[in-house]
Amino acid sequence: MAAGSWVAGIVDSVVQTSLAMQLPFCANSVINHFACEILAILKLTCADISINVIRMGGSNLIVPVIPLLVISISYIFIVAVILRIPSTEGKRKAFSTCSAHLTVVIIFNGTIFFMYAKPKSKSSVGTDNHDIIEAFISLFYGVMTPMLNLLIYTLRNKDIKAAVKSMLGRKNFSDGI
């Protein structure tokens, strides 16, 4: 699965990059993003980008759908196994572990979905408000998602919980994190 992810990402990147390299670019070469991503680059072109948009649309349908299907099918099997656990405490712990992973998956894929599948603005593309929203989404995806991932998984560790309790000086820190 890891090799498949790498191969799919490399192939998709090579195709998107090779299509973008064939386009003529206008005089304005400023990308208002934290990272150099394909949508920002396509805004700098002076030519028809319909082939790029079609290819990106297909990629946006295929690349996230396959992992989400695999995750969904896996969780169907996981829930079926969890429901067969006889103890309530065992079920609670298993669902707690699954909920942390599902939270990370939803945050990661939700941000990507919002970034690439959001409807196009009816206002002109270069407006300041539109650029600020896109920069915020890029920042959230690039900084907040990895940070939340780290927090979600580390706060499940008993030693980390104890350190946070000690640091905050609280006695009634929730054990449900």
Q: What is the reported pLDDT for 124?
A: 46
Per-residue pLDDT of the chain (177 residues; tens, 9 = 90+): 789 888 988 998 898 888 888 888 876 777 766 666 777 788 788 888 888 888 887 887 787 788 888 888 998 998 899 899 899 888 888 887 788 778 877 877 777 777 666 655 444 445 566 667 777 777 777 787 788 777 777 766 777 777 777 887 765 555 555
Q: What is the reported pLDDT for 12?
A: 86
* Cα 75 to Cα 51: distance, rounded to the nearest angstrom: 36
Q: At what angle do helices 145-154 and 88-117 cross, to 10 degrees?
A: 180
Side chain identity at 8, as an amino acid letter? A
Q: What is the pTM of this model?
A: 0.59
Q: Secondary structure of the chain: what % helix, strand, coil (to 5)?
A: 70, 0, 25
Tokens 């990507």 — which residue? 112
Side chain identity at 51, as an amino acid letter? I
Q: Which two tokens stand for residue 47?
A: 């030519």
Q: What is the reported pLDDT for 150?
A: 77
Side-chain-side CA neighbours of 43 within 13 Å: the count stands at: 19
* Cα 87 to Cα 160: distance, rounded to the nearest angstrom: 26
How far out from the chain centre does Cα 21 lie? Answer: 26
Side chain identity at 122, as an amino acid letter? K
The sign one gets for the Cα dihedral 14, 19, 22, 23 is negative
* Cα 11 to Cα 4: distance, rounded to the nearest angstrom: 10
Q: What is the reported pLDDT for 35?
A: 65
